[in-house]
């Protein structure tokens, strides 16, 4: 405490507030009261106790709302090659002797490879 008074005139009874510093460690100290030019002396012990910690009022975490189902971009990217493969298979079945079939298969394989590489690079 930073409480210090000398020659404090007190008429009858009086209350004096003595603040204990907030960073005080628990323990005790002696407080002396001297009056009547040193003829009357009184001493008492002051015990410093730390206040009990306040109970933690923990807020309940907000319930997370479920996000709507989203289709992953890899599936969306794979839809067009699958449709192209179906069309290519039907085209080969309908026109088996068309001269551009080999070129169409090569283009499809290159396109599919590009999409697979793009999907893997995003991961």
Whether residue 11 lies inside any domain: the answer is yes
Whether residue 1 lies inside any domain: the answer is yes
Whether residue 62 lies inside any domain: the answer is no
116 and 85 together in one domain? yes
Domains identified in the chain, total number: 2
44 and 80 together in one domain? no
Whether residue 61 lies inside any domain: the answer is no
pLDDT (tens place) for every residue of the chain, 123 residues total: 666 666 666 677 777 667 777 777 888 878 777 777 778 888 878 777 777 777 777 777 777 777 788 777 777 777 777 777 787 778 777 777 666 777 777 777 778 777 777 777 665
Q: How far is CA 76 from CA 3, 73, 87, in A?
A: 77, 5, 18
* Contact assessment for residue 77 and residue 118, using Cβ atoms and an 8 Å cutoff: yes
Strands (E), the chain: 27-35, 40-48
Whether residue 67 lies inside any domain: the answer is no
Whether residue 57 lies inside any domain: the answer is no
40 and 86 together in one domain? no
Q: Which range marks the domain in which residue 117 is found?
A: 73-122
pTM tops 0.75, yes or no: no
């Amino acid at each position: 405490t930073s409480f210090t008074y000398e020659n404090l005139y007190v008429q009858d009874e009086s209350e004096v507030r003595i603040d204990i510093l907030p960073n005080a460690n628990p323990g005790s100290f002696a407080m002396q009261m001297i009056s009547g030019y040193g003829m009357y002396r009184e001493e008492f012990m002051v015990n410093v106790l730390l206040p009990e910690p306040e109970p933690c009022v923990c807020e309940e975490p907000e319930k997370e709302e479920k996000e709507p189902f989203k289709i992953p971009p890899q599936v969306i990217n794979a839809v067009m090659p699958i449709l192209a493969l179906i069309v290519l298979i039907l085209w080969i079945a309908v026109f088996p002797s068309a001269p551009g079939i080999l070129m169409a298969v090569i283009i499809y394989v290159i396109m599919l490879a590009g999409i697979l590489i793009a999907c893997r690079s995003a991961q």
